[in-house]
Structure 1
Amino acid sequence: MNEILPWFRRRRVLRAAAAWMAGGGFAAALAQQRGNVVELRGDVLLNGQRLRPEQFIQTGDAVRTGPDAHVVFVIGNAAFQLRQNTAVKIERGDTLHTVSLLDVATGAVAAVWGPGHARQIVTPTLSATVRGTGTYVEVRPQEKLRSYFCNCYGAIELATGRERTLSKAEYHQSFWAEPAPVNGRLLTPARAMAHTDEEMEFLAQLVGEPTAWQVAGRRGNRDGSGAIGPGR
């Protein structure tokens, strides 16, 4: 019965998250020289070697997940969930534990970024500058590396080719970053898809940052517009 639940609702994940938060989060893990992996399932490689649950993922590292694998980890005030068949490189910022750039070569990544300096997410077809926000990105090799990007909440600067836009969202504003123009555009609107509010809330909890809809006490309709719904 447990195996049909979403990953973020499985008992082992909830126990791991509770232990992470009770243990003081990232700062305590760093001070106590514990790992920053909250949840690990399946074959995950860290710099080409099998990742162990007690290890520490840091900036400068490359992480790759295999089929039916995923990993959840926290670096500084940012939490990440890499789904199966995903490959990322985590670039270093001002310090070893400050992410400056997340390079997503393929696969899918959900992330919550706490407030602070500007950071970047890049894919083969998109560049996004983020601060305090939640994001979900997919790179689809079967569609010529077409990228899907969702600004789950916050303000994000998006760029692809010569196109630029500022996305401001309270509730899931979504885009396709096309490998070739569609009706003359490389950045086209999309519906919110492939990730849930509960996933983002789970990641936000790991860094002590509520989502915009949790603060507002209401949600939108997931049409990709970024608008939150009216109060009840």
Structure 2
Amino acid sequence: MTRHTLEGRKEDELLWTRRRGFLQAAAAWTALGGFATAHAQQRSNIVELRGDATLNGQALRQQQFIQTGDEIVTGPGGHLAFVMGNSAFLVRQNTRMRVERGETLTAVSVLRLITGAVVSVWSKGNQRQVVMPTLTAGIRGTGLYSEVQDNGRSYFCNCYGTVEVSAGRESVLSQAEYHQSFWGEVAPRNGKLLTPARAINHTDEEVEMVAALMNQRTAWEILGRKGTKDGSGYMDPQPHPLAR
């Protein structure tokens, strides 16, 4: 397993990719044709559900179909993996989020993360966003990790791809090959609301598994190598874009 750094998260939250139950569920999801087939056959788009979760205030069940416009809440120890059209999500415990409708009923235009943490992978396209309390990201096709910390600070990692990251009136174009990370600050730090961050609380294997649910591969899988997981975002040493 690749090196990872924890801040306020437990080790077992990051090791879900090792569980036999999830590996079996993911293999079955892929073998059965993924989202398009599940939608056509009116089957559930939930790959795995563990622990307590609610959908629009009602207990969520494995056989249900999550739709755009739905609000999802996971409880302590909860864990949810699902696919919705152009995107796939791994929702961690104690998370509250909404998936908002895009051009079609099955396309997500906005992941609105209110509390908690989500690993997500998005197919190529325009006009999609991740909206957090203190940070917004405009995405074009990428793998991401997003977390709202207990103090309201928003953490965002562009694991690979191109993203426009903004906090207040500050913004930067993030073009990452390997984990480029940011803080959306609650109050300015050294006069800035958007600041560099280390890569924390998520693993390469998590992003790879969520990408596989979309029949995709990460940038490092395609390139066949990995960079330094320090939050700078590149295979070879370069300064973080906010440090230039």
* TM class by smaller structure: over 0.9
TM-score normalised according to structure 1 size: 0.95
Rounded to whole Å, the distance in 1 between the matches of 2:137 and 2:101 is 17
The answer to whether the aligner puts 1:14 opposite 2:5 as a matched pair is no
Distance (whole Å) between structure 2 residues aligned to residue 174 and residue 227 of structure 1: 11
* Of 158, 162, 165, the match for 1:151: 158
The alpha-carbon distance between structure 1 residues 17 and 181, as it changes in their structure 2 partners (threshold 3 A), is: same
SS at structure 1 position matched to 2:125: coil
Partner of 1:50: 59
SS in 1 for 2:156: strand
1:120 equivalent to 2:121? Answer: no
Report if aligned partners of 1:218, 1:229 keep a CA contact under 8 Å in 2. Answer: no
Structure 1 residue 92 displacement after superposition: 0.4
- Pick from 184, 187, 195: which aligns with 1:177? 184
Of 137, 145, 149, which residue of structure 2 is paired with 1:136? 145
Deviations, residues 139-184 of structure 1 (Å, cap 9, x unaligned): 013xx31000000001100111110110110000001110100001
1:216 aligns with 2:223: yes
Contact 2:14 2:202 in 1 (8 A): no
Matched length:
226
Instruction: Give, in angstroms, the shift of residue 131 of structure 1.
Output: 1.5
* AA partner of residue 206 (structure 1): L
Compute the displacement of 1:229 (Å).
4.2
Q: Quote the sequence identity (%).
A: 61
Superposition deviation, residue 17 in structure 1? 0.3
Coordinate RMSD, CA, aligned = 1.4
C-alpha distance in 2, partners of 1:57/1:229? 40
3-state SS in 2 of match to 1:103: strand
- Secondary structure of 1:158's counterpart equals strand
Q: What is aligned with 1:105?
A: 114
Q: Is the 8 A contact 2:143 2:207 kept in 1?
A: yes
Distance 1:88 1:4 in 2: 18
1:47-86 equivalence runs, <5 A: 47-86=56-95
| One-letter code aligned to 2:67 | Q
Equivalent residue, structure 2, for 1:35: 44
Higher relative contact order (CA 8 A, sep 6+): 2
Runs of 4+ with >4 A deviation? none
User: What is the TM-score of this pair, normalised by structure 2?
Assistant: 0.90
In the alignment, which of 88, 97, 100 is matched to residue 88 of structure 1? 97
SS at match of 1:52: coil
Give, in whole Å, the separation in 1 of the partners of 2:33 and 2:125.
20
Deviation at 1:117, TM superposition (A): 2.6
Mind listing any 5+ residue stretches in structure 2 that lack a counterpart? 1-11, 238-244
Q: Residues 212 and 4 from structure 1, CA distance in 2 versus in 1: closer, same or farther, beyond 3 angstroms? A: closer
